[in-house]
Structure 1
Amino acid sequence: MSQRAHEAGWIERTRAAGKAWLEAAARPLARILLRLNVSPNVVTLLALALSIVAAWLIVAGQPVAGALVFLAAGALDLLDGTLARLGRLDSRVGAFLDSTLDRVSEGVVFTALAAVFASNSQPVETALTMLALLASVLVSYARARAEALGAACAVGLATRGERVVLLVLGLVTGLVVEALALILVLSAITVVQRIRHTARELAARE
């Protein structure tokens, strides 16, 4: 196995282990929600609502509060999947809604940051924010397009979870520009990784 393949495998194993741990932590709350007949789609919509609140807080000049609310929204995004699997409520409609609203949730927070930079006459930072958003969306689009063609494509350095953590850390520490630059770079690398992975997988079938 090449060094690159070994590193990629380590990243995927670490991510899978972290996700498994978080899902285990979310199960008690998921069981409570199941008893209350709360559907995964309701949790998905609540995550979107919290992201909108986070965006409003950022625009209102409260980045730390916005970061904490956005982190809560990210936690709910994990919870809806755990709830669906635990209650055997998985559905294509739910998966589509979850994926689509995830993009909206990220988009409103990035847009709020861009609005703050633009209002402070910071064109470079505004452009950086929009480029980070574009790269983030392309990460998700690359996977969706690959899977539509029948190729598994969950590889790459920066998935949504990593982006949320980086953005939250940036907002809390005041290093927002640095966090956005890192999100842009890691997302761009991830897009390239997914393009190469999908191209190899599809070519192997032809």
Structure 2
Amino acid sequence: MSLDPHREGAKNAMFCLVHWTRMEQKALNRRVFVNLQVQTRFVLLLSLTSDFAQRSLMEKTAKAMPIKKTLTEYLRLWFKWFLDPVGGFFNRLGITPNMMTMLGLIGNTVGAYFLARGEMLTGGLFVLLMTPIDALDGTMARLRGESSDFGAFVDSVTDRYSELIIYGGILYYFLSLGELLGGLLVFGAAAGSVLVSYVKARAEALGYEAKVGLLTRVERYLVLAPSLVFNQLFIGLGIIAIFANFTALQRIWHVRRQTHAKMEKQEI
């Protein structure tokens, strides 16, 4: 049986066309696969580059929380010319920094006694006199080369005792007169003063800084002492009650900013 040469040629041509089509499809698939690989790698590279650029930008633009000096620290620097010679003099007399700390506590207690009796001028002068005494203990320890964490701890605790003893004397005076408003002002001033110190101590225990605020201890004494000397208790206590608590809120807000900045940095 003879084959039709035309039909046989058509079959061969169709076979070649199908084979060529399949080869082209395979080549096209390979090109598409390669293109997809290239595009995927490019996208990954672009993503990594963008992420790196974003991190670099955030690190460059991130603002560190500034550590601000308090008025106490500025006053120590300004009056260093006075505190160093006086502190050295007491050191040569054999008076230790802890003895000076206790002297300040005793002096404020005596002042509180006069305040409780209503002798505001005498009590105010004692409070005013004990203010530089409080700065001398740290100066004396530094000059001796004996500055220690425990010494700073004792100094801070006695400062709180001194302040509360003074408020206690004023409170006793107001209660003896039946002055309810005066008693409330004393409570507000004492609460604000304690909270200012507590917020700072708690923040530092957690690794944050909290030295900001309008009314730190020195400012409170600069308000309280003149108000005692000039017998303007309501004004002085009112200022302290308002702004000491405001200072505590300032410090809380300052710590909040630091915690949020820390969390954002960890997320990066």
TM-score if structure 1 supplies the norm length?
0.90
| Structure 1 contact 23–79 (Cα < 8 Å) conserved | no
RMSD: 1.6
In 2, Cα distance between equivalents of 1:129 and 1:13: 24
Q: What is the correspondence of 1:156-175 to structure 2 with a 5 Å cutoff?
A: 156-175=213-232
Match of 2:140 among 83, 86, 111: 83
SS of the residue 1:152 aligns to: coil
Q: What is the correspondence of 1:18-167 to structure 2 with a 5 Å cutoff?
A: 18-167=75-224
Distance 1:172 1:98, change over 3 A: same
Which residue does the alignment assign to 1:4? Answer: none
Shift of 1:171: 0.7
Shift of 1:35: 1.6
Moved over 3 A (4+): 11-17
Which residue does the alignment assign to 1:181? Answer: 238
Distance 1:186 1:19, change over 3 A: farther
Which residue does the alignment assign to 1:6? Answer: none
Q: What is the correspondence of 1:186-205 to structure 2 with a 5 Å cutoff?
A: 186-205=243-262
Which residue does the alignment assign to 2:24? Answer: none
Match of 2:74 among 9, 12, 17: 17
SS of the residue 1:153 aligns to: coil
Shift of 1:15: 5.7
| Structure 1 contact 111–130 (Cα < 8 Å) conserved | no
Distance 1:128 1:73, change over 3 A: same
Aligned-pair identity (%)? 35
User: What is the CA deviation profile of residues 61-120 of structure 1, one whole-angstrom value per residue up to 9, with x for unaligned ones?
Assistant: 211111111112221111111111122111111111000010000001101111101110
SS of the residue 1:186 aligns to: helix
In 1, Cα distance between equivalents of 2:176 and 2:114: 15
SS of the residue 2:166 aligns to: helix
